[in-house]
Amino acid sequence: MKSSLYVLMFCVMVVCSNCASADNAVKPVDSDPVCTSADNATLTLADNQTLVMYYSKMGTTRIVADEVSRRIPEADIVEIQSDVGIMKAVFWHQLFNRNAAIKPLDIDLSPYTRIILCSPIWLQKISSPARTVINTMPMQGKEMHLLITCGGKFIDGSQEKLKKHVSTRGIEYRSLGVVKTGGKSEEEIRKQTCIQLKSVFATQNTL
């Protein structure tokens, strides 16, 4: 079992590295004077009704969610938890677009008008625990911003499918940002996250 997991992880790494073509390379962000991990710039949204939801298996999407939370201090944050195994996720959930079992989320969504959903992609699809949230939680009519982490590339066609999927659930899709994590340091991941947030909320921000 353990050896097949290693084989699978190897295949994923190969896929991810193949996906990382030049046009996908993360643009250097060092020139951005604001989005440094040391600065304290925050984003003030017009209302106080933002919920950050995140799922992270290996920890990188948790960094993204933490950075979002740091930049939007008024937002509440909740972790989506699942003990789904990678084999089941890949060979069942991702291949057949199935939901994963998640721990019940002890949160009332009704006060929130805006959801920022942070998730990794697995095989070019949103992770199955995050898919479960989209498919099963009462988020109809709420704004959704997606912040997706990937090792190398989240291809355009797959992004479009995800946007469409969100809309077909009656959720008001607003934006999709991609944070590339392969080979990146925590600081680089935080910078990318900040830049994504900046561009998404450009019209209302103080960031």
Ligand X SMILES: Cc1cc2nc3c(=O)[nH]c(=O)nc-3n(C[C@H](O)[C@H](O)[C@H](O)COP(=O)(O)O)c2cc1C
Name which of 109 and 182 has its Cβ closer to ligand X: 182
74 C-beta neighbours (distance < 10 Å), count: 13
Residue ranges binding ligand X (CB under 6 A):
12, 15-16, 19, 56-61, 86, 90, 120-124, 149-153, 181
Helix extents (H) in 20-154: 60-71, 86-88, 95-96, 128-136
Instruction: State the nearest-atom distance from the C-beta of 132 to ligand X, in Å.
Output: 15
Name which of 142 and 195 has its Cβ closer to ligand X: 195
Name which of 66 and 142 has its Cβ closer to ligand X: 66
Instruction: State the nearest-atom distance from the C-beta of 165 to ligand X, in Å.
Output: 16
Angle CA 66–68–70, to nearest 5: 70
Instruction: State the nearest-atom distance from the C-beta of 85 to ligand X, in Å.
Output: 10
Instruction: State the nearest-atom distance from the C-beta of 75 to ligand X, in Å.
Output: 19
Q: What amino acid occupies position 15?
A: V
* CA-closest candidate to residue 205, choices 44, 55, 74: 44
DSSP state of 64: H
Instruction: State the nearest-atom distance from the C-beta of 90 to ligand X, in Å.
Output: 5
- 35 near 198, Cβ under 8 Å? yes
Name which of 45 and 90 has its Cβ closer to ligand X: 90
How large is the angle between the packed helices 60-71 and 186-200, nearest 10 degrees? Answer: 50
Q: How far apart are CA 84 and CA 80, in angstroms?
A: 12
Name which of 26 and 142 has its Cβ closer to ligand X: 26
Integer-rounded Cα radius of gyration of the chain: 17
